[in-house]
Amino acid sequence: MKTILFQGDSITDANRFREEGHDFCSGHGYVTMVQALIGCDDPGKYTFFNRGIGGDKITNIIERRNRDIVHLEPDYMSILVGVNDVWAGITRNDGTSAELYELLYDSLIREVTAALPKLKIAIMEPFVLESRENESFYPEFRSGVCARAEAAKRIAEKYRLTFLPLQIKFDLAAKKTGDTSHWLRDGVHPTPAGHKLIAEEWYKNFYQRIIKGDLS
């Protein structure tokens, strides 16, 4: 049985169970939606782990790379991180510069792939929309997240990994409805509809294009 690991911040976490032995409860977000789609298509083929932690930045994932990545020995992994690296810098002066974010992300991928050379990885693009909660600093927020997204894409290209673009998905969705809160309740955290957008991109461009082919 193959193992799929979801790694990231609160968007991935989505109030998952923390207790050992409760990996069947992956939270209320895109992880559970993806797990449901795969479980229906190919039942009994995969074990799933959600190790997202709310508030995490790239520094936090680096710190727990052995415990929450290498030790689990996944066959496939996706990572969504970057928005807190900007958000914390704006609101708490505790962010990660775009240059350091890219350096640390590169180090994470290099070290993890050295330990797990057969691991296939999808890097998910961080995203943000304007909301009442962030309107006073949105231009800075948006430009910062875009800088991290560009860095994440460069890393995916460098290591020939799957890159899942998400900002354009949310931009187009928000344009369609004219209400960003329909997709991201505070400009960052997805609603059920927002999680479905993420799940669809993950399923189509990582599972169907990369993972499913390994079953044959």
Cβ atoms of residues 165 and 201 within 8 Å:
yes
Inform me whether the pLDDT recorded for 20 exceeds 80: no
Predicted local distance difference test score (pLDDT) of residue 21: 58
Predicted local distance difference test score (pLDDT) of residue 67: 95
Predicted local distance difference test score (pLDDT) of residue 23: 63
Inform me whether the pLDDT recorded for 168 exceeds 60: yes
The residues that bridge with 162 in the sheet, in sequence order, are 122
pTM for the model stands at 0.95
Inform me whether the pLDDT recorded for 210 exceeds 90: yes
Task: Give the confidence band of 176 by pLDDT, cuts at 50, 70, 90.
Answer: very high
The residues that bridge with 49 in the sheet, in sequence order, are 5
Task: Give the confidence band of 130 by pLDDT, cuts at 50, 70, 90.
Answer: very high
Strands 46-50 and 2-8, by their bridges, are: parallel
What is the number of domains present in the chain? 1
Higher pLDDT residue, 213 or 8? 8
Residues 6+ positions from 176 with CB-CB distance below 8 Å: none
Predicted local distance difference test score (pLDDT) of residue 13: 95
Q: 132: domain CATH number?
A: 3.40.50.1110
The percentage of residues in the chain with a pLDDT greater than 70, rounded to a whole number, is 97
Inform me whether the pLDDT recorded for 24 exceeds 90: no
Predicted local distance difference test score (pLDDT) of residue 200: 98
Residue holding tokens 């990885």? 121
Predicted local distance difference test score (pLDDT) of residue 48: 94
Task: Give the confidence band of 18 by pLDDT, cuts at 50, 70, 90.
Answer: confident
Q: For the range 113-117, what are the long-range contacts, defined as Cβ-Cβ under 8 Å and sequence gap of 24 or more?
A: 113/159, 115/70, 116/69, 116/70, 116/73, 116/74
Q: Residues 79-104: pLDDT tens digits?
A: 999 999 999 999 898 899 999 999 99
Q: Residues 145-164: pLDDT tens digits?
A: 999 999 999 999 999 999 99
Inform me whether the pLDDT recorded for 53 exceeds 70: yes
Average pLDDT value for residue range 57-62: 97
Inform me whether the pLDDT recorded for 215 exceeds 80: no
**Residues of the domain holding 199:** 2-215
CA distances from 174 to 7, 137, 183, 184, 186 (A): 26, 19, 7, 9, 13
